[in-house]
Structure 1
Amino acid sequence: METPTDFEVADDAPSARAAETEAMVRAAWLYFIGEMNQSEIADRLGLSRVKVNRLIAAARSEGVVDVRIVHPSIALIELENRMCHAYQLDSCRVVPAAGEGGESEIDKRFVAIAAAETLARGVAQKPDGVFALSWGTTMAAVAHAYRGARAPRARFVSVMGSLTRKAASNPYEVVHRIAERTGGEGYFIPAPYLADTMADREVLMAQRTVRTSLDLARSADLAMSGVTEATPNSFLVAQKLVTIEELEDCRANGAVGSFAGLFFDRDGRFVDCDVNRRRVGVSGETFRGLNTVGIAAGRSKIESVLAALRGGVFRHLVTDETVALGLLAEAG
């Protein structure tokens, strides 16, 4: 059986272009729609495989073939890209919204899973790294969702005091659970989240065990915390870690949100308030210098996330579609 040869029409023949175009369209249809490989197309059209390859390439370059990605997640990828450009983020992960008015437990769970995946990737990239983590309901959900490879040399450290007057979520759970799942080491700050006085804070911050954890946190390869609003509905107030009176003092000094237990204003500046002065933990400015990830879910977080972005509190964001669209509307 003879090997098929390309049928070449003389360049000056009136039908040359029409014949070439028809062959291109046929080859493209068989390849993209008929799902045939180039060898099968060559046999079908009586052409060589080299000719078929050239025809398919021409179909792409001339716009005969319009390849579209139609999976629903492409819209989220576009949102992530727009967010990075609008707010100079190193990365952004956006999960779909449940469509329940912007406040959904499903959204919070999806965001926590995405944040856990972000942390797991960080651990995989730096299995002997240091990972500084806050605590609270958001971070507890991240710890619960965490699935990752073993990393016995990884170290996980809390960024704020781990003793509280009252908390529904165990402050020790985040570091302990993730360290347990990776086989790594967990470090805590053996002090209250808030000291009774500024003088007490200075004494606690000077303790060797506290200094050891703080120094480790300051050297972190990745830091992560939830972003909360400065309202009575926020985690810190709802769990009575901060009183209404303390919250009002923060708000009087311009606070609109908090990150790792520190309150900041609409420009992302950590405010001079009583809570911030008495908090035991890593300073707010430290987060700006680290590879820090912010996590937020729900429409109520838009104002506080926007403020944190303005102040460069974090370089990476994990959030939901509702928050991302709200932030892009603010960016114009």
Structure 2
Amino acid sequence: MQMPKRQTDDTVAQAAWLYYVGNLSQQEVSTQLGVSRFKVLRMLADAREQGLVRITVEHRTARALALADRLVTTFGLTEAQVAPVGESNTDDTLARNAVAILASGYLARIAASETPVTVGLGWGRTLSAMADNVTGVRNSALTFVSLMGSVTYASHTAPGDVCVRLAAQTGGRAILLPAPFVTDSAAACDGIMAQRLVREAMGVARSADHAFMSVGECREGSILFQSDIFSADQIQQLRDADVVGDCCGVFYRADGTVADIELNRSTPCVQPADMTRMDTVLLAGGLGKRAATLAVLRAGFVKKLLVDEGLAVALLAEAEKQGK
């Protein structure tokens, strides 16, 4: 029973190859494979759904390039990339996926190094989508390491999951931080950080060459507030300290300062001070990320920023209004 399924998959791949690589029209693919044009359309859709085809657009619009230059100047970055999805786009899923495609291209760029490369990873939907879009990267000298502990429940967006997927796709290796995202107290966190396996993984994370991070909003209705990760007391700490967002398990106020709360001493993770020598890359997609992204940028450790067009405009407008 397996042979017909394999042949069907081979035919789908062949149709995709002829259409996307061979530049044949759908009618020409139909003729060459001896199937109807409708079936060709179905096979091309199947190829995309199965991950056989991943489409990237390398061209940057003049507007996106101009926005990127302004972001570099305004926030003191070394590089910015803007996905040209339109200033008025309100589809956060489209924004995240567009930023993820930029990030997958950036990862391919650094993975081309002939020397060993260690990449630290945070967590979130944009980083997960980046892993979904990586293709054509093979480098056994790549190491992917978690920059923070993981959430309780298995998740496609958890740092450990993203590390393992990227290592499998690229032929590299994954190192996971054997710790939870958050502990019950600062004392409990100290105890976990003292464990040998945690110390060893943290040592690799702190010496990473690159760090890919995303931001999380800390507000009513946000994923973090609804995830059951925090205790009621920890949620209240975030509210009382006017925390607007987190990055890799560190919680920030709007001015970019790390909130002086016990929660920030209860998360096993790499700290901003550890990232000074890393190539730190922040991924953010969707207007809902504006406040959190601004806070992390103001913290001063981000060197490169990958965002969608709508968020880029919003960040610049807010920075101009508030004098950065």
Q: TM-score, normalised by structure 1?
A: 0.73
Deviation digits for residues 285-330 of structure 1 (CA, Å, limit 9, x no counterpart) = 2234421111111111112211211221311111011111112112
Q: Is the 8 A contact 1:228 1:258 kept in 2?
A: yes
1:290 to 264, 274, 278: 278
Deviation digits for residues 85-128 of structure 1 (CA, Å, limit 9, x no counterpart) = 11111110100235665343111111111112112212223651
Residue 146 of structure 2 corresponds to: 158
2-side partners of 1:211 and 1:239: how far apart?
A: 27
2:251 to 254, 263, 271: 263
Q: Greater Rg, structure 1 or structure 2?
A: 1
The alpha carbon displacement at 1:243 in A equals 4.5
Identity %, equivalent residues: 33
1:178 to 158, 161, 166: 166
Partner amino acid, structure 1, of 2:266: R
Q: Is the 8 A contact 2:251 2:264 kept in 1?
A: yes
Residue 105 of structure 1 corresponds to: 93
Q: Is the 8 A contact 1:98 1:107 kept in 2?
A: no
2-side partners of 1:153 and 1:265: how far apart?
A: 38
2-side partners of 1:132 and 1:172: how far apart?
A: 11
SS at match of 2:236: helix
Please give the root-mean-square deviation of Cα atoms over the aligned residues, in Å. 2.1
Distance 1:312 1:245, change over 3 A: same
2:311 to 308, 318, 323: 323
Matched, 1:196 2:184: yes
User: Unpaired segments of 5 or more residues in structure 1?
Assistant: 1-70
Partner amino acid, structure 2, of 1:195: T
2-side partners of 1:126 and 1:322: how far apart?
A: 36
Residue 115 of structure 1 corresponds to: 103
Q: Is the 8 A contact 1:103 1:300 kept in 2?
A: no
Partner amino acid, structure 2, of 1:235: I
Partner amino acid, structure 2, of 1:109: N
1-side partners of 2:218 and 2:187: how far apart?
A: 26
How many pairs does the alignment contain?
A: 262
Q: TM-score, normalised by structure 2?
A: 0.75
SS at match of 2:112: helix
User: Unpaired segments of 5 or more residues in structure 2?
Assistant: 1-58
2:81 to 76, 93, 96: 93
The alpha carbon displacement at 1:189 in A equals 0.7
Which one scores higher on RCO, CA 8 angstroms, separation ≥ 6?
A: 2
1-side partners of 2:200 and 2:68: how far apart?
A: 37
- For residues 1-16 of structure 1, what are the structure 2 equivalents within 5 Å? none
2-side partners of 1:204 and 1:95: how far apart?
A: 40
Residue 34 of structure 1 corresponds to: none
Distance 1:104 1:315, change over 3 A: same
Partner amino acid, structure 2, of 1:212: E
Partner amino acid, structure 1, of 2:119: F
Residue 210 of structure 2 corresponds to: 222
Q: Is the 8 A contact 1:229 1:256 kept in 2?
A: yes
Residue 262 of structure 2 corresponds to: 274
Partner amino acid, structure 2, of 1:273: I
Distance 1:72 1:189, change over 3 A: closer
1-side partners of 2:153 and 2:184: how far apart?
A: 11
Structure 1 stretch displaced more, 177-186 or 283-292? 283-292
